[in-house]
Every structure is written in C-alpha cells, then in structure tokens.
C-alpha cells in the first residue's frame, strides 16, 4: 500500500495514552466506552506493556487507541507517568515507507530522538524529538510486511 498524493503519511495510526494500571484502563475503555482489545503485548525494548483498542469493524485507514503501561518505574513511560499522571503520551502517524519518510522529513528540518526501532507487533517506528514539535511526542510507524495483527 502507498501513501496518498505522495504525502509522507497515510493517516493517524493511533493515539497513545500513558496509563498506570493497564487492566483498569482496559476495563474502563471496554466496559464504559465500548472499545474492544485488538492486540496486547509486552515490548521489553521500549519498557512497556501495550494494548491496542478499537471499536467496530476496522478499515485499513482507521484509528485505534494505544494504552501504554510501564514495565518499570524507570522506563520512559514510567518516568512520564510520574511527572504527568495518565494522559496522551504520543500521536502516531502511519507511513508505508519509513526510510523515505525519514529522508523527506530530515530534508524539511525534522529532528528525531534516535534511529528506527521495533514497535508494536514488529512494526518499525521512529520518534520526532518533542523539543522540536512544541512538546508533543510524534511517532511514525511502518506496519510489518504482513500487516498489523489487530486489523480486521
């Protein structure tokens, strides 16, 4: 799949919420808000337990909510929660060619926090540095070759 109109991004892939208690957050989102768990895993590399939640039948360009709970207090999410409590931690844009998107954004002056790494379910991800985005952590993701396992 390609991005539309040669834009670097296809859509907002998900919005990530930092949460202290994963089970409590899932219960609220499912029981009260009507979401369902699409995918759940521990990502040791990023120090988080994560859950992707959605409603209804998902399409290719739909958006999901990601819950992120720290695996330890000294993880990035653990430190974030200790300063900010539960709140939006990041917005993630989807691309289908991460390397091309990185090159395009660097040409436009983007500053990244590091190199691409492994994200949810084997996706490739990179983050724009919040010091250069007005304080917002922006993630860019390229789904794995077989697609995301939480897609219908």
CA distances (Å), origin 32, targets 17, 28, 29, 82, 150: 16, 5, 6, 26, 21
Question: Residue 131: what are its φ and ψ, rounded to 5°?
Answer: -65, -20
Give me the tens of pLDDT residue by residue for the chain, a chain 152 residues long.
565 566 788 878 888 989 888 998 898 888 866 778 989 999 999 999 999 988 766 655 555 889 999 999 999 899 988 988 767 888 888 889 999 999 988 988 899 999 999 998 899 999 989 888 767 788 999 999 887 776 64
pTM of the model: 0.71
CB atoms within 10 A of CB 13: 28
What are the structural domains of the chain? 11-142 (3.10.180.10)
Contacts of 140 (CB under 8 A, 6+ apart): 9, 92, 93, 94, 95, 98, 101, 102, 125, 126, 127, 128
């Amino acid at each position: 799949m390609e991005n539309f109109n040669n834009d670097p991004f296809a859509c907002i892939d998900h919005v990530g919420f930092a949460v202290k208690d994963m089970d409590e957050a899932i219960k609220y989102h499912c029981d009260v808000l009507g979401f369902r768990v699409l995918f759940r895993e521990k990502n040791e590399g990023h120090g988080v337990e994560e859950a992707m939640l959605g409603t209804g039948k998902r399409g290719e360009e739909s958006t999901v909510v990601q819950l992120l709970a720290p695996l330890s207090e000294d993880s990035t999410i653990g430190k974030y929660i200790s300063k900010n409590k539960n709140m939006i931690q990041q917005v993630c844009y989807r691309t289908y060619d991460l390397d091309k998107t990185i090159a395009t954004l660097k040409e436009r002056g983007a500053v990244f926090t590091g190199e691409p790494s492994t994200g949810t379910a084997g996706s490739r991800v990179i983050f724009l540095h919040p010091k250069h985005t007005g304080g917002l952590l922006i993630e860019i993701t390229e789904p794995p070759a077989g697609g995301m396992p939480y897609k219908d």
